[in-house]
Amino acid sequence: MNMKYIFTHAFVLFTMWLGMTGCGSNGTTTSHKTEAPENTKNEEVVQDVIKADIVVAQDGTGDYTTLQAAINAVPDNGKERFVILIKNGKYDQEKLIVPKSKTYLTIKGEDREKTIVSYHMYDCNSPESGNKCPAEAWLLWKDNKDLVYTSATLTVLADHFRMENLTLQNTAGPVGQALAISMQGDKGVYLNCNFLGYQDTMLLRENGDRQYIENCLVLGRTDYIYGSGIGYFQNCEIRSWGGGWITAPATNKEQAYGFVFNECKFTYVANSPRKGDDGHPIAIGRPWHNYPKVAILNSSYCDEMHPEGWPTTWNMEYAPTSPDLHLYEYNNTGKRADMSQRAKWVGIKELTSEEAKAYTVQAVLGDINEW
């Protein structure tokens, strides 16, 4: 398929330099030319250019009107980057999956706030619909076991996946597990995106699989960044409704890293969709399975953060005494950066400047430029 060049945010600098008239020194009208500056001669068009192999547009101006059809058209087992551009609109009729064979795929939105990928499935006690609700939504996708394994709006199985410049959300609300994304491939990159949910917004599912998330917003209330994978959050906003837990890590004992947050902002937002959340403290997390590992470095905490950080063991009896939990902090700001009131667990500690060197992008993920 031929590469397309999509022009966005165009603006024109236009100057007409021919046939200009003015007054001479004797008061007579004269015609004259003025040489334009080199960078403004005639018409100059300044544009952002997005190169795309496939364009998705709801109005029919692209190659496809739905995103899953575009994903299905991507060549299998590719070794070169393949780009799908999604034009602005709200795409809310599909539960989406990137199959394992769609390697080196980039999905890029036209505008972060105006390109919205959305669905509304959630986990529920309903065996007749695979414990997924609404039942009518489950009926649409039940034949794809990978797709309905979780409630995620988007499930990514492929390695070397990239997503940029869009909003991905699950709109089910405070009804239980309702994922925006399930990350199940290795070497994923997410740039300039919004991930919106309430419970379990983002799942980093697989042991050892690595994800790099930069300049993104992640919104939720309950365990909304969770799983056993490795995630490096760089310059992100982690935005919470009150009364919940940001992370629910389940890191394998032999895995050196879990979730790393560097130069992030931990913020609070009122008007939760669930009554009773507002005004209650936000925990860094609660341990889910195995030997959780979370490191927060060079970041800022809102005042609503829970002073204990990890206020509950959540049925993990060994959480306070195991040195294999690594719940680390370094060089953070805000009054909740004071670690003197943190839970008295063996694995909670403040890193030294020397120890913090082990938490660079390179140390945690390797060379992401090769991804």
Catalytic residues: 200, 223
Radius of gyration (Cα) for the chain, nearest Å?
25
φ, ψ dihedrals at 10, nearest 5°:
-75, 145
Inter-residue contact 189 to 371 (CB < 8 Å):
yes
Pairing label, strands 132-133, 122-123: antiparallel
Among 149, 166, 282, smallest CA distance to 222 is for 282
Write out the DSSP string of 261-289: EES-EEEE-SS-SSTT-TT--BEEE---S
Torsion of CA 327, 290, 201, 80, to 10 degrees: 100
d(CA 205, CA 2): 35
φ, ψ dihedrals at 353, nearest 5°:
-60, -30
d(CA 324, CA 250): 12
- Give residues with Cβ within 8 angstroms of 69, minimum separation 6: none
Inter-residue contact 321 to 291 (CB < 8 Å):
no
Integer distance in angstroms from the first to the last C-alpha of the chain? Answer: 23
Inter-residue contact 198 to 220 (CB < 8 Å):
yes
Return the structure tokens found at 162. Answer: 């990239």
Inter-residue contact 116 to 167 (CB < 8 Å):
yes
Which amino acid belongs to residue 10?
A
Which amino acid belongs to residue 21?
T
